[in-house]
Amino acid sequence: MLKGIPKILSPELLMVLAEMGHSDRIVISDGNFPAESMGRDAIVIRCDGHGVPEILDAILQLFPLDTYVEHPVNLMEVMPGDDVETPIWDTYKEIIAKYDERGAKAVGNIERFAFYEEAKKAYAIIATGESALYANVMLQKGVVTD
């Protein structure tokens, strides 16, 4: 146990966050995301039993978002024709606003299949048990300045 570290962050996940460098990306995936097949060249960390919002909140307490790109946070776009509501995105934007002054402006969207291609290049993928649809989020790491 360590003081000041969110308890939801496992030693394995803390190590990955510390290893990551500027511009490396990490995906926090929902329960439907093909984490193992997308993460063949990445580190896959299982966080079954947890949802994306609580993992996102814990990570952003330690993880600076990239200030050199317009959207250091990206969500998987809803496919045309899918009648899916995404209220979880509002939750993400509230969490992001706690840790990054850009708030919702730091968040972009990536078309579903393009998101998969980008996920294949991620440093790590965190597989959660999140049941919300289109709840995948990709973070790009920034620089620690203090």
d(CA 136, CA 146): 29
Catalytic residue among 30, 57, 66, 100, which?
Answer: 66
22 is catalytic: yes
Residue 26: beta bridge partners?
124, 139
Closest CA to 132 of 87, 90, 100: 87
Question: What one-character DSSP code corresponds to residue 77?
Answer: P
116 is catalytic: yes
Residue 124, helix vs strand vs coil: strand
Catalytic residue among 24, 50, 71, 116, which?
Answer: 116
| Residues marked as catalytic | 22, 66, 116
